[in-house]
Amino acid sequence: MTSEWGEKSTADLMSRYASKEMGQGVPKEGWRICLAHEFKEKRKPFQAKDVSLSNVVDHIGLGIRYLKWWYKKTQVEKKAPFIDMFRALPLRQIYGAPLGGIGGGTITRGWRGEFCRWQLNPGMYHYKTVIANQFTVCLRRGGQTVYQQVLSVERPPTLQGWNWGYCGEYAFYHALYPRAWTVYQLPGQNVTLTCRQISPVIPHDYQDSSLPAAVFVWDIENKNDYALDVSIMFTMVNGSGHKDDKSGGHWNEPFHLEKDGEAVSGVLLHHCTATNPYTLCIAAREQADREVSHQTAFSPKGTCSGLWSDLITDGRLDSPTGSSPPTQKGEKVAAALAVSCSVPALKLNSLEFCLAWDMPRITFGSGEREHVRRYARYFGDKGDASPSLSHYALTHYKQWEKSIEEWQRPILQDSSLPPWYKSALFNELYFVADGGTVWTELSEDADISGGVRSEDGGLPAQPALVKEYGRFAYLEGQEYRMYNTYDVHFYASFALIMLWPKLALSVQYDIAGTVVQQDPTERLHLMNGRYSPVKTKNVVPHDIGDPDDEPWQRLNAYLIHDTADWKDLNLKFVLQVYRDFHLTQDSQYLRDMWPICQAVMESELKFDQDGDGLIENSGYADQTYDGWTVTGPSAYCGGMWLASLCVMCKMARLVDSEEAYRRYKDLLERGSAAFDKLLWNGKYYNYDSSGRALSNSIMSDQCAGHWFLRASGLEKEAYQAFPKEKIRRALKSVFDLNVMSFSEGHMGAVNGMRPEGVPDHSSVQSDEVWIGVVYGLAATMIHEGMLEEGMRTAEGCYRTVWERLGMAFQTPEAYCERNIYRSLAYMRPLSVWAMQLALDTSQRDNTVLAKTGDSGDNGEIKT
């Protein structure tokens, strides 16, 4: 199922690899690249200057209002805009798998080994390669050092007392998140190193998955006929390359911790900022046949030849006692840890390191409230947990790996699945941890109900599930700084509900509590230039806030549109409620959500202006495609409205509300007839029903409502709302036109396509490819038995992002056919897990059908 062009692009990433060494324990599946590889295509981010002339004319008021707001934000308030249209992130084709678990901050290590992307302050990213953060190898024979090399291809202008410039043609990187491997052949030494990086991201685990730690295991193969003594040195700067590294007052100290018969030692790097102070920790296990040594403090500037000479002399560091003095303003300080072992001739040995960081109590940008991270439940919130964290990681990482392998094995061993898909499925999960993610305890005074309690049709102040599993938030994107952007979470949520369902339900409780809230504060909305309330009652918010402000307290950081006028946010809430119930069978959750679902559906009914059971649109009718003008009922919102009525009927029966069932059933029957009459054109559902020149564009996401019904196990109900033959025909039209007629079928599905086979250029978004939408479309195709088409559709996006454009571990929201991409490191591509749900569901359905002998043509599954 892998195409020829796919095989070629995979080979290109390794074309410069000059060695035959394949390392220790590196899996076949994943994303692999030679350290000498250079990506040929260099794309630029979409910025305000890229808006077409016709769109500039249409949105000139928006542009002027945004510019005024941007100037005030950046020049007066001295804050970063939640979306910066003038200073988008440039593409750096360097990123690898991030380090750390979920919600405690992340440090990303590039595929060439650099420590280059930092998210320690919650939700706020810092993109800086700290060149002194390195691994160095020292080989000794007969008491003499014969080779010492920084394992980096860089040749920096600083630290010139170190031996830089490792030849990248002798190394490759391989990622299968949450693990990654780097294999180095040491030229002329007959030695191969394999560095295995392990982060505790483990499905259905709500303890270890929260830990801010990662382990590096170095496997050393000695292919000589004589023994070698091998040392690996890990150097780390106290900080993240941010200007506060020089703010003064930072200090380091060595530590030793013995517990349960295991000893760990290393260096603590205390970063003493006024806001969100933290401690970095580099550590190693003490074992009888390993020697651990350290250098508490060194200055990471100048030649730094003293540290290099210290290691080269005897393969170990001086290990001074006592802490370093606090740094003076303008100074930086770093630390080093070395571990040594003997490797017999023609044998293998290994060394282990841990990197941990401890920032248990956090404040967001406003500084108004303090929050406690999830991992502090197990390791305390005093800021002294780094030794315990590193000890725990080094003594439990083997269990982490066992759990990870048990989870991934059935998919990796499934020969019917193409290799690119296995890489996409696991590697796109990076965003669960590296999406500016926070996972916090529910504070004792928190009330998530919005002030409306269960007895009045609301929620408990502290639902048991949220109290037990905490609150979870992740950004729309690293460049689009809004937490739990709900229309995008609709797609991404498949990863959470399948792998960490308690976190998915926690998000739903948080959103449900905001529905009944209202904030009458008037503010300017940039699209229409009108003032309207920040939050309207019985409307799902766009997001729960900006990490540079106070999330959970101030909603709707997105101020482009007035979200009260959007139809899809409420519908997406209802659809997720039932899907989540279907996958978890949590009846308490369903009972809690039922009155909230009724409230949001009532607020939607105001859009059924002609009483035909189908909601209508005007202007920017939905949040997901908020740049695409809609008039009248549309395929996207209309389809989700019908799907929502389907699940309301289903939930009404489950909660024994016959009156509600009859009401929603009547709306569904009338709405389905109107939807079909107004939008079906014989080949697909028109974009909208306005009859204007572009209303018959083919929208790739036109079957989104049907997709969610199938994902919720409602096959029979789905075909009653959307006839099977019409869904199949619509999907075939999308495949033929949006996929195969766009860039020769090699880039996924363009959002909008004209019937004559050219992209719809009517808006900024219509001629983009949205990776997360494409994965959802592929899942819909798989549900409908179009496996080959679904895989071909999704493969185009994976190949483009990961193999052609160099966007590994920063999958964007969108790219155009040429030149432009938009919003790096985006939430929506987590929807690749919807494909896995579709595959699992199809496999189960086929098993049932095989047992019963039923053809399944009537849309029913006999059990």
Read off φ and ψ for residue 481, nearest 5 degrees.
-85, 75
Higher pLDDT, 786 or 627: 786
The pLDDT of 114-139, averaged and rounded, is 97
The pLDDT of 231-260, averaged and rounded, is 97
484: pLDDT strictly greater than 80: yes
Q: State the pLDDT at residue 857.
A: 42
Q: State the pLDDT at residue 621.
A: 42
Nearest residue to 835 via CA among 791, 771, 785 = 791
Nearest residue to 112 via CA among 147, 148, 155 = 155
pLDDT band at 856 (very low <50, low <70, confident <90, very high): very low
pLDDT band at 203 (very low <50, low <70, confident <90, very high): very high
DSSP string, 665-721: HHHHHHHHHHHHHHHB-SSSB-SBSS-STTTT-EETTTTHHHHHHHHTT-HHHHHHH
789: pLDDT strictly greater than 60: yes
Q: State the pLDDT at residue 627.
A: 53
Query: What count of other Cβ atoms lies within 10 Å of the Cβ of residue 302?
Result: 11
Distance in angstroms (rounded) separating the CA atoms of residues 421 and 426: 9
859: pLDDT strictly greater than 50: no
The pLDDT of 469-481, averaged and rounded, is 97
Q: Which amino acid would we find at residue 423?
A: S
Q: State the pLDDT at residue 107.
A: 98
* Chain segment 707-761, per-residue pLDDT in tens: 999 999 999 999 999 999 999 999 999 999 999 999 999 999 999 999 999 999 9
Mean pLDDT of the chain: 93
Distance in angstroms (rounded) separating the CA atoms of residues 428 and 829: 7
Please name the residues in contact with 187: beta carbons below 8 A apart, sequence gap of 6 or more.
167, 170
The answer to whether the beta carbons of residues 678 and 688 sit under 8 Å apart is: no
Distance in angstroms (rounded) separating the CA atoms of residues 655 and 640: 22
The pLDDT of 21-42, averaged and rounded, is 97
Strand partners, 336: 235, 295
Higher pLDDT, 250 or 845: 250
* Chain segment 441-450, per-residue pLDDT in tens: 999 999 999 8
782: pLDDT strictly greater than 50: yes
Q: State the pLDDT at residue 393.
A: 98
Please name the residues in contact with 840: beta carbons below 8 A apart, sequence gap of 6 or more.
none
Length of the chain, in residues = 863
Q: State the pLDDT at residue 122.
A: 97
860: pLDDT strictly greater than 60: no
The answer to whether the beta carbons of residues 748 and 794 sit under 8 Å apart is: yes
541: pLDDT strictly greater than 50: yes
* Chain segment 665-703, per-residue pLDDT in tens: 999 999 999 999 999 999 999 999 988 888 999 999 999
Encoded tokens for 674: 């109107």
The pLDDT of 164-168, averaged and rounded, is 98
- The 3-state DSSP class for residue 267 equals strand
Q: State the pLDDT at residue 618.
A: 43
Percent of the chain with pLDDT over 90: 83
* Chain segment 405-461, per-residue pLDDT in tens: 999 999 999 999 999 999 999 999 999 999 999 999 999 999 999 888 877 778 999
Q: Which amino acid would we find at residue 145?
A: T
849: pLDDT strictly greater than 80: no
Q: State the pLDDT at residue 567.
A: 72
pLDDT band at 846 (very low <50, low <70, confident <90, very high): confident
The pLDDT of 523-536, averaged and rounded, is 88
557: pLDDT strictly greater than 80: yes
Mean pLDDT lowest among 144-153, 486-495, 600-609, 813-822 = 600-609
Q: State the pLDDT at residue 862.
A: 26
Q: State the pLDDT at residue 674.
A: 94
Q: State the pLDDT at residue 622.
A: 53
HEC string of 135-149? EEEEEEECCEEEEEE
Distance in angstroms (rounded) separating the CA atoms of residues 117 and 107: 6
The pLDDT of 797-811, averaged and rounded, is 98
pLDDT band at 855 (very low <50, low <70, confident <90, very high): very low
What would you measure as the largest C-alpha separation in the chain, in angstroms?
90
Distance in angstroms (rounded) separating the CA atoms of residues 410 and 836: 12
Q: State the pLDDT at residue 59.
A: 78
Q: Rg of the chain's alpha carbons, rounded to an integer?
A: 28
Q: What is the pTM of this model?
A: 0.95
276: pLDDT strictly greater than 50: yes
Q: State the pLDDT at residue 596.
A: 95
The pLDDT of 612-622, averaged and rounded, is 61
Q: How many CA atoms lie less than 13 Å away from 413 in the CB half-sphere?
A: 6
Please name the residues in contact with 263: beta carbons below 8 A apart, sequence gap of 6 or more.
256, 257, 285, 286
Q: State the pLDDT at residue 850.
A: 66
The pLDDT of 580-584, averaged and rounded, is 98
3: pLDDT strictly greater than 80: no
What domains does the chain contain, in order, with CATH numbers?
A: 30-40+92-403 (2.70.98), 442-848 (1.50.10.10)
620: pLDDT strictly greater than 70: no
Q: State the pLDDT at residue 853.
A: 60
1: pLDDT strictly greater than 70: no
Q: State the pLDDT at residue 114.
A: 97
Q: Which residue has the tokens 């990662």?
A: 214
Q: State the pLDDT at residue 852.
A: 60
The pLDDT of 654-668, averaged and rounded, is 96
Q: State the pLDDT at residue 628.
A: 55
Percent of the chain with pLDDT over 70: 95
The pLDDT of 111-117, averaged and rounded, is 98
